[in-house]
Amino acid sequence: MLFIETDSPPPFYQERLTPTKRKQLDQWFIGHRTQSYYLKRFEQFDKQGYLSPKWHWAAFFITFPWLLYRKRYMDALVYSVAGWSFIQLNVVMALVFVEFAIISYIPDAHHMATRIAIAGIIWLFWAFMVARWTDAYYYRVARREIADALEDNPRDEAAQKDHLKREGGVSLYGLGLGFGFFAFALMVIYVQFLPIIAKPKENEVLFNTYDIAKTTQNRVALLYQQTGRCPIDLPLNIDEPQVRIQITTQAAGAPKADCVVWATIQNVKFPIRHLNDQTLMFYHNVDNNSWRCTSSLNKKQAPAYCIDD
């Protein structure tokens, strides 16, 4: 699609056809969907005598489904294999360069955003180039199929029509297949690749939450031992916006507690937003004069020594 000839006249152009006959053939090939749009584009290319870039929104956003929708099955396969491989190669090369030359100058908190931005810019550039030449590509396909129909059936108009309708037009099945592929790809990313990114972030938040909660509990336990009461007014200087600490004298999940240190996870973003409002609780058990731990986190997330009574 990006390597279209700009010959004059355009490739496969049939000079001997009358404007009326050419329009009829174009209509058979395009079909009823967005026919007026493509007829206008084809007429522009015919008049100017060469191919030139135009803008095509569908190709910018959904090139692969659009190709299947327009029955360009082999081209869709080539695009998905060669095109996406080319994008991936460029993304990898750019990221390798950034990792060695630039990433050390960027704050750690912005590393992932930088990598995503680089990949996004490369994809946008590719999508931009494809969208500019899609109309020229489709025009070229139409002229090629029309040339084949005329060559194979020079005097049989019905056969020409059958050929162009078979090779042209649209396929709702192909459109559904394209979006189905996108849905499958998103599912694979969500199930297989997103956890690879999310797990280290999740572990970092959980470790910080436990570390802050345990440090606070040690201070509270020392004051409780010295004074015999729960220091609910203890000043807390916690420089961690993702963890909220509270000290209370009771908790619904610990009826025998008289001093409780609550740690609540907050302000975490995608892909670990499920951690928001999860709690870790250290409490003093009056019956055995000991500190215990419980959590709303599941068994895989909660510390092994933080049990749920």
Tokens of 37: 């749009």
In-domain check, residue 270: no
pTM for this model (two decimals): 0.69
Q: Is residue 269 part of a domain?
A: no
Least confident of 93-102, 178-187, 230-239, 297-306: 297-306
Those residues whose C-beta lies under 8 Å from the C-beta of residue 131, and which sit 6 or more positions away, are: 55, 56, 57, 59, 60, 63
**What residues have CB less than 8 Å from 159, skipping those under 6 apart?**
149, 152, 153
Measured distance CA(304)–CA(39) in Å, rounded: 69
Helix (H) or strand (E) holding 216: helix 194-227
Q: What is the pLDDT of residues 85-138, one digit of tens each?
A: 888 888 889 888 888 888 888 887 788 888 889 989 999 999 999 999 999 999
In this structure, which amino acid lies at residue 297?
Answer: L
131 domain-assigned: yes
pLDDT of residue 307: 57
The pLDDT value recorded for residue 271 is 85
Please check whether residue 58 lies inside any domain of the structure: yes
Q: SS3 of 16, please?
A: coil
d(CA 68, CA 283): 61
Q: Give a yes or no: residue 88 inside a domain.
A: yes
Higher-pLDDT residue of 12, 168:
168
pLDDT at 302: 83
Helix (H, G, I), strand (E, B) or coil at 295: strand
Asked if 201 and 271 touch (Cβ cutoff 8 Å), the reply is yes
Q: Look at residue 88 in the predicted model and tell me its pLDDT.
A: 84
Domain interval for residue 119? 19-170
Are 261 and 216 in contact by the 8 Å Cβ rule? The answer is: yes
| Structural domains in the chain (count) | 1
Residue 262 included in any domain: no
For residue 2, pLDDT over 60 is answered with: no
Distance set, CA 153 to CA 164, 204, 261 (Å): 11, 70, 85
- The predicted structure's pLDDT at residue 195: 81
Tell whether 220 is covered by a domain. Answer: no
